Every structure is written in structure tokens, then in C-alpha cells.
Amino acid sequence: MNEISGRFLGSGRPPTPPTLTPEPPPRARPFRAGPFGVLDIGSTKIVCLIGRVESDGTLRVLGAAHLQARGVRNGGIVDLDATERAIRKCVAEAEDMADTHLRDVTVNLSCGAPESRLFNVQWPIGGRAVTAADIRRIVAEGRARAASEGRETIHALPLAFAADETGGINDPRGMHCETLGARLHVIDATVTALRNLTACLARVDLAIAELVAAPLAAGLATLVADERELGATLIDMGGGTTGLAVFVENQVLHTALLPIGGMHVTNDIARLLSTPISHAERLKTLYGNVEASPDDEREFLPVPLVGEDERHIVKVPRSMVISIIRPRLEETFELVKERLDGAGLARDAGHRVVLTGGACQLPGAREMAARILGRQVRLGRPLKLRGLPDLMSGPSIATAAGLLAFAGGLGRGLPDLDLDAGRPAGLFRRLVDFLRERV
């Protein structure tokens, strides 16, 4: 559960969360009642999905919309007015399609320089049976240890519990022990960036139901069950950022967000060829590649120059465009490798890498990643969601699809337990409550 999670609807213990598999086993009843919305605020696009959990436990998309982002750079909001207008229009289109009105949304966390840390916490039990209150106390202790000035905890995810000498326990409730131990994964971000995000959504009469780390969401949408269990690294190559998440034993051990993405490739082309950004994007999309071929020297591409008349066009060999793209992609994968090595997760991360996000679609990116990272690499597309338009089914929609899955219940270790109950509200939580009272 994260810092601003809402209470679950319904009574009693909910069933196993829904999955994204095409034909999941039937559930006794939906995990979450009624339509719910998610919002992926990226550097190049904004996506809004509205969905519900069907009686068989699968997710169905009721409304979907995506627009070019405005006022967002490297995952953070830099222009409140422009971002507000883009979000308002995107949400309105999705609401019209779903014939419903959203009061709150689950939002991706891409701003505020998010950091990921692991904590080992022990709590005295005294030989009695472990209760839900004990789990909440151990999570609260982990949050307290992670607290730092100017930052707010978003996720405090229990990875595994240990009852005395017995480890690897997913749910210790009812077990007797002297000491309960837990390994917690804590993700936090700067308070000021979160305040800007909350204020922007409040302008469009939306509250934040939950914040979800963007790489975590992308991993839920693109990794298959065996990859999440055996160990895999998800690399989400977005427009302004590249996120990575390490999954093992169906848990996320580490996340990171690097301030580099597909737009940096586009800007490199525009700057070095002195061409408008729109044409640089077109060159990248139509002719971009990471690996050179002998024919690239003989194929010449038309390039209009910035500020010149439309008739003034120069010709450049395709090899020149590739020579601009290649170093930026190499830098991206080198930074990913450096971050993984620095986190000490080389063994836990396994030998499997899944690339997703719009920028991973450049030809040759998969082969370059395999060479630099030294691992097996595949391109990941989010599994098909019922009702999602075909035009919104590519790698660029991975984070939004994962947000919808998380909002529906996937990816929660203890889905029936509100780990925030009874915990004093932090600065960000109090700001959300303050704005909710006035929306």
C-alpha cells in the first residue's frame, strides 16, 4: 500500500486480485466495485484509462484516451496551466467514452526523484499469534526508519516475513513466534514535486486515490508470471525518463528512474542537424536504427532546416542519423547497468531483461541492450486488456495498463490489509486531504 491509498470497498477478505492473463481462473466476486480510473502523466503523452473488474476477475477497459503531454519534463510538472489543460481534455474524453465521471484516479509516480531502499525490521511478538496490528506496526517502523527531511514515503511494500528462524513467509497472521521480522521495500519522493502533482489534479477536480511507481506499474503489465517469480529486470524506456524495476519471487525489489528517454534522442537529432523537433521525431520514427548497415551511406534523407524556407532542404545520409541515435542509446543502457550494479542486485535481477516503452521500438535496441547488459532481452508489450482500442495496445501504453491492473488489485502482497490504518498522516497525505475537502 502506498502513502495515499484509499480504503478497500466491501466487507470481509477480498479474493485473489485479478490478473492480466487472457483467461484467468474465476473469482468469487470482483476485488473492486464499480468503474475506476488511472492516469499516466508522462513527458510526451498523457493517458487516461477507465476500467472495472468483471465477474470472472478480468479487467475490462470502459474508456480510454491519450493526448500529447504539455508542461511535463523528465517526468515532473514544469507548467501547471499547460498540464492542467492536457489532463482535463484527456480525462474528459475517457469519461465520455465510459459514460461515467471520475472523482479520483490512480496516478503514476515519475516525479520527485523517487528513491528505492530495502530495510530489515524486527518486532517482538512474545510467543503469541501474529495479528494484523503487528504487521502494521512493523511497516510503520520501516517507514519511520526511511523518513528523511523533504521526502514522503509512497510505497512501503513487505517483501517477505520471518517468524523466528522460519523465513520466506508471505502472510504471517495467525503464526506463533517470539520475533517477527520483515524485509521492506520503501519508495519515497520529494514532497514539493508531489504537492505540485496534487495541486494540478485538484484544478481538474480530481483527487489521488493512489500513487504507483511507474516502473512497478509497467512491470505488472508486461512481465509474465514466471518472469516475476524467477527474476527479471523491467526497463521502461519512456519519452523523458527510463524506469527500471527488478522483480523476483513475485515481488519488486528495486526501482529507479533515470532522467533520459526518447525525447533526448529526438533533441539530439534536431540539434545536430539543425532541423525542427517535429521533423527530428519523424526521422527517428521512420528511419531510426541503432545498428548501421552498408546501405545507410547511400540512402539520403531530406532534412528541412530551422528558420529556413520550406523549399530549402538539405540531404543527409541515413548513416548520420544512426550515428546520432546510437551514442544516446548506449548511454541509456550503460546508466541502467551502472544503477543495477550499484544496487547490488546482479544475482537477484536474474538473466532476463524485458524492454518496454515507446523508445524501445527503435530497431536494434534489443540487441544493444543484450550486449551491454550481458543478459537475455525481449521486447515486452502489455498483455491485451478487454475493451482497449488496438491503437493503444503497444509498449508505450505499458505504464497505464499496469496502473489499471494495480488499481484492480494486482501486485499487492497483502491485498486485504490496509497497512496505513491508524498511521499519522504525513505532509503529502495531509495536503491531499486538505484539497479533497475543498474540491
- Residue 420 pLDDT grade (very low, low, confident, very high; cuts 50, 70, 90): low
Q: Could you tell me if residue 37 is inside a domain?
A: no
Domain that holds residue 176: 115-188
Q: Could you tell me if residue 139 is inside a domain?
A: yes
**pLDDT at residue 354, rounded to an integer:** 96
Q: Could you tell me if residue 136 is inside a domain?
A: yes
Q: Could you tell me if residue 137 is inside a domain?
A: yes
Give the tens place of pLDDT for each residue, 142-201: 888 888 888 999 988 898 999 999 998 989 999 999 999 999 999 999 999 999 999 999
State yes or no: pLDDT of 340 exceeds 80. Answer: yes
Alpha-carbon span 268 to 257, nearest angstrom: 21
Q: Could you tell me if residue 159 is inside a domain?
A: yes
Q: Could you tell me if residue 379 is inside a domain?
A: no
Q: Could you tell me if residue 204 is inside a domain?
A: no
> In the predicted model, what is the mean pLDDT of the chain?
85
Per-residue burial over 135-149, b if 16 or more Cβ lie within 10 Å, else e, is bbbbbbbbbeebeee
Q: Whole-prediction pTM value?
A: 0.84
Rounded average pLDDT over 81-93: 96
Q: What is the CATH number of the domain that holds 120?
A: 3.30.1490.110
State yes or no: pLDDT of 85 exceeds 60. Answer: yes
Rounded average pLDDT over 229-248: 93
- Residue 32 pLDDT grade (very low, low, confident, very high; cuts 50, 70, 90): low
Cα 288 to the center of its chain, rounded Å: 26
**Under a CB-based contact definition with an 8 Å cutoff, are residues 69 and 44 in contact?**
yes
* Domain total in the chain: 1
Q: Could you tell me if residue 214 is inside a domain?
A: no
Burial of 437 (0-12, 13-18, 19+ CB in 10 A): exposed
